């Protein structure tokens, strides 16, 4: 496709703390595609202060859960998966040149800490869970979970094709419930709106979005402008988080044999430099339109063949390392002001043996947080129904992600919320270190919510 350049050979190094702060101001997995346009993402449907900076690319204008292509929700939402993004001490700020937020050292984290310290252990644990609401389910089907489990978020899955009016009625209902049950904290209300086969929300009020492959042929300015319009449509319908863009690079040697991304044309390009430019432009547009963006599926699922949503085979990437050029698009998204980073469920022997990335401290903390400088919110690809993690007991999936340094556990299966929530609380009660990790994760989540107007220190 056009605009391809030779992949950059330079390794990714630690990002500047400034970049992380800028981000803070502000799914992998594959799921089986649903109707065209529905999210088909392969997941169906903060660390230390870095010392060195990731080399900046030439200036640009510059961000899953049902079964779908790996890395997002189903093609109804392919692998889905902030200014709470960067450093934990920053909040959203005014934009600087290139569309990235300007660094700031406001008291956002202090505010979040005060809010979290006023929450019970049960409420803190609940803030780390996001559950899927299927388009075929009743609007009230999650009421008990949202209120009793104090959930932090809900993602709309399964292809909502009836237009914005139905989506807005649903999000308004959920928002009222959350405010009543968790100290006034609002919900992160998410969708997989990548474009092409992975566009969960369709119909009147939502433009049809072209695939990432098409978006990748546009100029950065055009993509930012289009993404701003798409974000405004999401915001008007009550959606405040988009589990996009895809920062995965699919090499031409694999192409459509890549089950989660290449098969559905979810990649911007086969050149990581071009992918990074498009990712940055998309993130800038989402931010301009008032919606949080999510770069996924870290550390990349473009080199595997299996879709982590539907299989545990063919999901080992034996090439990607902690200094791989394919990590650059994620760094570009962080620099542009992404609000969340979604971690995939593939396996990376050069980083952490046979451990799924979502359960790997080497991936989540050592590479993403320490090396790339990400201090904001991390979220899993779907770990409720994904075949890639089927061997891990449901309850332990949440515990292991938090232990790895993660924040929000995304599950497309409502029945898994109870076991996950109980496991988090049980571990908190017996392990002070784990309780501290939950608190730190909750602070990052609440800092993001504060930036989005979903939390206030009064």
Residue 64 pLDDT grade (very low, low, confident, very high; cuts 50, 70, 90): very low
Q: From CA 26, how far away is CA 22, in angstroms rounded?
A: 7
Q: Is the pLDDT of residue 96 over 50?
A: no
Residues 373 and 138 sit within 8 Å (Cβ to Cβ): no
Q: Which CATH class is domain 122-452?
A: alpha beta
Q: Considering the chain, what is the average pLDDT of its residues?
A: 82
How distant is the alpha carbon of residue 455 from its chain centre? 20
User: What's the pTM value of the predicted model, to 2 decimals?
Assistant: 0.81
Q: What are the structural domain ranges in the chain?
A: 122-452
Q: How far apart are the first and last CA of the chain?
A: 51
Give the containing element (helix H, strand E) for 18. helix 17-25
- With a pLDDT cut of 70, the percent of the chain lying above it is 76
Residues 88 and 447 sit within 8 Å (Cβ to Cβ): yes
pLDDT digits (tens, 9 = 90+) for 286-337: 999 999 999 999 999 999 999 999 999 999 999 999 999 999 999 999 999 9
Residues in contact with 253: Cβ distance below 8 Å, sequence separation at least 6, in sequence order:
none
How distant is the alpha carbon of residue 224 from its chain centre? 19
pLDDT given at position 45: 32
Residue 13 pLDDT grade (very low, low, confident, very high; cuts 50, 70, 90): very low
pLDDT digits (tens, 9 = 90+) for 155-206: 999 999 999 999 999 999 999 888 777 878 999 999 999 999 999 999 999 9
Q: Is the pLDDT of residue 274 over 90?
A: yes
* Residue that wins the pLDDT comparison between 356 and 93: 356
* Residue that wins the pLDDT comparison between 316 and 2: 316
Q: Is the pLDDT of residue 247 over 80?
A: yes
């Amino acid at each position: 496709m056009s605009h391809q350049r030779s992949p950059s050979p330079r390794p990714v190094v630690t990002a500047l703390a400034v970049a992380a702060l800028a981000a803070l101001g502000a799914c992998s997995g594959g799921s089986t595609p649903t109707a065209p346009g529905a999210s088909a993402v392969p997941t169906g449907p903060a660390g230390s202060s870095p010392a060195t900076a990731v080399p900046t690319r030439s200036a640009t204008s510059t961000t899953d859960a049902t079964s779908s292509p790996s890395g997002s929700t189903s093609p109804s939402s392919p692998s889905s998966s902030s200014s709470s993004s960067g450093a934990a001490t920053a909040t959203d700020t005014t934009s600087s040149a290139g569309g990235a937020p300007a660094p700031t050292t406001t008291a956002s984290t202090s505010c979040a800490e005060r809010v979290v310290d006023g929450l019970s252990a049960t409420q803190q644990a609940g803030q780390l869970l996001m559950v899927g609401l299927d388009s075929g389910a009743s609007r009230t089907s999650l009421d008990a979970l949202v209120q009793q489990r104090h959930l932090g978020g809900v993602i709309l899955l399964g292809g909502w094709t009836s237009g914005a009016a139905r989506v807005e009625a649903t999000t308004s209902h959920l928002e009222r419930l959350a405010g009543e049950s968790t100290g006034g904290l609002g919900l992160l209300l998410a969708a997989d709106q990548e474009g092409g086969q992975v566009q969960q929300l369709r119909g009147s009020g939502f433009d049809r979005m072209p695939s990432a492959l098409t978006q990748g042929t546009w100029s950065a300015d055009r993509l930012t402008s289009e993404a701003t319009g798409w974000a405004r449509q999401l915001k008007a319908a009550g959606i405040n988080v988009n589990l996009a863009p895809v920062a995965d690079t699919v090499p031409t040697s694999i192409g459509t044999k890549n089950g989660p991304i290449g098969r559905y044309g979810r990649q911007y390009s086969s050149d990581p430099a071009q992918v990074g430019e498009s990712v940055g432009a998309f993130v800038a547009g989402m931010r301009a339109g008032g919606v949080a963006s999510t770069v996924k599926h870290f550390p990349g699922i473009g080199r595997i063949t299996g879709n982590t949503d539907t299989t545990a085979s063919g999901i080992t990437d034996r090439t990607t390392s902690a200094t791989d050029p394919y990590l650059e698009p994620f760094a570009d998204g962080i620099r542009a002001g992404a609000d969340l980073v979604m971690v995939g469920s593939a396996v990376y022997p050069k980083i952490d043996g046979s451990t799924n990335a979502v359960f790997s401290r080497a991936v989540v903390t050592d590479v993403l947080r320490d090396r790339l400088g990400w201090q904001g919110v991390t979220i899993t690809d779907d770990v409720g129904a994904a075949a890639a993690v089927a061997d891990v007991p449901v309850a332990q999936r949440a515990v292991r992600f938090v232990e790895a340094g993660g924040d929000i556990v995304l599950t497309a299966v409502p029945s898994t919320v109870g076991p996950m929530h109980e496991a988090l609380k049980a571990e908190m009660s017996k392990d002070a270190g784990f309780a501290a990790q939950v608190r730190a994760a909750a602070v990052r989540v609440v800092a993001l919510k504060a930036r989005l107007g979903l939390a206030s220190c009064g």
